[in-house]
Amino acid sequence: MFSSRRANIIYPLMIICCYILMRCTAFTKSSTHRKIPRIIREIPLLRTLNLVQTTFLGVGTAIGGVMFAIMGRAVAEAGPSIVVTFLIGAFFALIMGLSYAELGSSVPSGAGGAIAFVGRAFGKKTPTFIAGWFSWVGSITDCAIGSLVFALSVNYFLRWVEPFTLAILTLIVFALINFRGTRSMSIVQVALTGVLIFTLCFFIAGSSLSFNANRFEPFFSNGIWPMFAMVSFIFPTYAGYESITQMSEEVKTAGKNIPKALFLTLAVITLLFTGASIAMVAGAPPEIYANSATPLQDAATYFVGPIGGAIVSASAMVATLTTINGAMAGGTRIAFALSRNDFLPSIFKKVHPRNRTPFIALALTVLIAIFFVLTRSINFIVYAISLGYSVTAIMVALAVIRLRKTEPNLYRPFKVPLYPYVPIIAIAALSFMIITMSLDALVLGITFGGVGLLLLFVSRRIRKTQKTEEPVK
């Protein structure tokens, strides 16, 4: 159904065409060759998110369909030691997150997260573009995949619902929620994430009914190595929690709240993931979930009967919705930041005067997500993203080091402990993760990065010729 071969050539081409078209049109007059009078103010983003809302944003965005899908294979490969695998994953996520915490608490104009930090450290150069490109496409992909998974889940129960239509409708609904403002996005996120956490706790509690501690023996059912090897497999479940920093200009008392929210989010999702893995291992025999596409649902059915499966299915759907909501908000701010760094036309910097959202960046982000849904070749993108995620995180760690040198006076409410060892370890761990990536993922990721660089090169060429034409006009 997902024919990828043709699409793999066509849709990068289409992306390039659209981008060139955009650059050539009237919207592209860059503000750099027009002095904007001080009276016309840029409208700033509004700080509305408190600690709880920010934490729920992180938890909801991080917990997506991934956990529900991979749990079966993860437990099958590593056995009961998967619990430790999740803890190791949490440790790596923490090491990586410490850099985000330092920069998120101190870098001014931090909307967009990684791209803003890398931009501050390295300027409007290629590394910043790469960070922005990968994280933006990552967010868009989260939206596209989330909406498709949601629609397919609904379609599973309600056969008459056409999945692709529902997926696009879902994206439009969340676009409207995001357009209304950060407060509206946050209310939805807190509500949905609350449901998500509750249902997951229900799942974990449900395992007590058929809890059998013997199932933990033998702890290393396939040897010790899988416990470590599976870390990179489960690591994407943690990915997304650092996306809190993308909203850093909209968090109240951000210097204090962003580090707190990051660590709270990590704590919550670690508890939920390890709890769920313990529930799986102890609550049900491996045959139930080992080769299942819906391992948690099957385990829940084993715990409490069909009602359990239904609740977990609902939980999975809510998880995709929270990810769409959070990724859409984050992706919008990344596009906003790309525009600030002159990688996108300045029109994407516009903030809606009443709703205080970057509404044009939102429209673009959602349109591209809808486009991805329409082209129906998600596999390509998914592989390309995992490389981008690690590359971006490496650049953020490098940004920490560079900014300690170039901006010693910038006040850092949170500082990475054991500097410079922690950023260096983070870079090493992420590089390790890249090296142990599947060849497919590596190649596709590099290709994708190449597409981005090509776009950058082309747009710079266009701008250069625009500049040389101007005096003649």
Partner 1 sequence: MVRYLRIMIVGAGDIGLPLIHYLSERGHLLTVIEKGEAACKHIVNHADAAIFQGSGEEKEIWKNLEADKMDALMALTNNDKTNIAVCEIAKRDFGIPFVIARAHQPESIDLMEAAGADIAICPSIETRRLFLNAIESRIVETLYEKANVGFKIVSVIIPQNGVAIGKNRDRFDEPEKLRISSIFRNGAFVFPSESFVFKGGDRVLLMGESETVEKAAEKLREAEIT
Cβ proximity of 45 and 250 under 8 Å: yes
The least CB distance from residue 254 to partner 1, in Å, is 6
Verify binding: residue 123, partner 1, rule CB under 8 A.
no
Contacting residues for 9 by C-beta, under 8 A, at least 6 apart = none
Verify binding: residue 413, partner 1, rule CB under 8 A.
yes
The least CB distance from residue 73 to partner 1, in Å, is 44
Distance from C-alpha of 324 to C-alpha of 375, rounded to nearest angstrom: 18
The least CB distance from residue 400 to partner 1, in Å, is 16
Could you say which residues in the range 443-462 bind partner 1, by CB under 8 A? none
Q: 445-470 burial by CB neighbour count: b if 16+ within 10 A, else e?
A: bebbbebbeebbeebeeeeeeeeeee
User: Looking at beta carbons only, is 70 or 401 nearer to partner 1?
Assistant: 401
Cβ proximity of 192 and 322 under 8 Å: yes
What's the chain's length in residues? 473
Taking CB under 8 A as the binding criterion, the range among 59-67, 224-232, 254-262, 422-430 that sits at the site for partner 1 is 254-262
Among 406, 431, 436, 438, binds partner 1 (CB under 8 A): 406
Cβ proximity of 182 and 356 under 8 Å: yes
Verify binding: residue 253, partner 1, rule CB under 8 A.
yes
Cβ proximity of 341 and 160 under 8 Å: no
Structure tokens at 25: 């049109």
- What DSSP string describes 25-69? SGGG--GGGS---TTSPPPPPP--B-HHHHHHHHHHHHS-HHHHH
Among 183, 256, 376, 463, binds partner 1 (CB under 8 A): 256
Could you say which residues in the range 331-390 bind partner 1, by CB under 8 A? 353
The least CB distance from residue 408 to partner 1, in Å, is 9
Among 108, 123, 218, 450, binds partner 1 (CB under 8 A): 108
User: Looking at beta carbons only, is 110 or 388 nearer to partner 1?
Assistant: 110
Verify binding: residue 407, partner 1, rule CB under 8 A.
yes
Distance from C-alpha of 66 to C-alpha of 68, rounded to nearest angstrom: 5
The least CB distance from residue 260 to partner 1, in Å, is 11
Q: What type of residue is 197? A: I
**CB-count exposure of residue 20 (10 Å: 0-12, 13-18, 19+):** middle
The least CB distance from residue 33 to partner 1, in Å, is 17
Verify binding: residue 409, partner 1, rule CB under 8 A.
yes
Count of residues engaged in binding partner 1, rule: CB under 8 A = 22
Could you say which residues in the range 31-70 bind partner 1, by CB under 8 A? 38, 41, 43-44, 46-47
Verify binding: residue 254, partner 1, rule CB under 8 A.
yes
- If we measure between CA atoms, which residue out of 442, 387, 319, 339 comes closest to residue 137? 387
The least CB distance from residue 47 to partner 1, in Å, is 6
The least CB distance from residue 382 to partner 1, in Å, is 37
User: Looking at beta carbons only, is 34 or 38 nearer to partner 1?
Assistant: 38
Q: Whole-angstrom distance between the N-terminal and C-terminal Cα of the chain?
A: 52
Q: Which residues bind partner 1 (CB under 8 A)?
A: 38, 41, 43-44, 46-47, 105-106, 108-109, 252-256, 353, 406-407, 409-411, 413
